[in-house]
Amino acid sequence: MLAARFASLLTCGLLVVAPASAEAASRLKWTLSSPAPSSPLTPSPALPSPAPTSSLVLFRAQRQLLVLENGRELRRFPVAVGMPGWETPLGRFEVIEMRANPEWEHPATGQVVPAGPNNPLGSRWIGFLRDCQGRSGFNGQQHLEVKGCVTVGFHGTPQRVSVGQAVSHGCVRLLDENVQDLFQLVEVGTMVTVLP
C-alpha cells in the first residue's frame, strides 16, 4: 500500500514524498529523473499570479490623493494643489519619472536648489505630466512667465502648513513622510487621474 511505503510532508503547499526505504528511494530517483510528460509525478507549471495594479486618483477640490490597488483604496493622503491661474491639470496621465533627493531648478530664473531640507521638492519627486507650452500668470506675489518645458508631479515640501491648500504652481505637494510612502507604492507607468 502506498501510504505504508512513503511518508509525506507538506511544506509551503508543496507535497514532498520521502521514501521509506533505500530501494524505494532508488526507484523514486529513477522515476523523477526520467522524462515522463504524462506521468502524474510531473509537476504542473506554476501560473504567475497577476501583479497588483496600482493607480492614483487626485480629487483636486477635496485636496485628497487616493492610492488604489486593484480598484480598492490602499492609502489616502492630504495634498496641496495648484493655486488659481496655476491649477493642477485635470485628466488622465501616468508616472513618467521618479527621483529620490531631487534638485530643484526655479522655472523662471534657472536657480538650482540642491537636495536637502530646504529643497522645495522635499525628498521625493514623482512626475506625471510634461508641459512644453509655457505658462504665464500671477503667482500671488508677482507675475511669473515660464518658457519651455515644465513637469508637473507629486513631491514633498518643507512648507508643511501648505498641505491642504491651493498654493502651488500646478504640482501636488505632500508631507515629506507621505511622499516617501507614495514613492514606494508607485512606479513609472502607474496611472494618475486628476478629477475636479
Q: Write down the domain spans for the chain.
A: 54-195
Q: What's the Cα-to-Cα distance from 76 to each of 93, 100, 122, 134, 159, rounded to whole Å?
A: 19, 21, 19, 31, 20
What class does CATH assign to 54-195? mainly beta
Query: What DSSP string runs through 53-89?
Result: -EEEEEETTTTEEEEEETTEEEEEEE-BEEPTTSPPP
φ/ψ region of 2 (left if φ > 0, alpha if ψ in -120 to 50, else beta) reads alpha
Tell me the C-alpha distance between 40 and 68, whole Å: 41
Residue 195: its pLDDT value, please? 98
The burial of 85, by beta-carbon neighbours within 10 Å (0-12 exposed, 13-18 middle, 19 or more buried), is given as: middle
Residue 141: its pLDDT value, please? 63
Contact between 105 and 119 (Cβ < 8 Å): no
Residue 167: its pLDDT value, please? 93
Residue 41: its pLDDT value, please? 52
Residue 94: its pLDDT value, please? 97
Q: Mean pLDDT in each 10-residue stretch from start to end of the chain (196 residues)? A: 36 33 43 43 55 89 97 97 92 97 84 93 96 68 68 95 94 97 97 98
Give strand pairing partners of 94. Answer: 191
Residue 135: its pLDDT value, please? 67
Residue 133: its pLDDT value, please? 74
Handedness of CA 27, 29, 30, 35 (dihedral sign): positive
Tell me the C-alpha distance between 36 and 88, whole Å: 61
Residue 151: its pLDDT value, please? 86
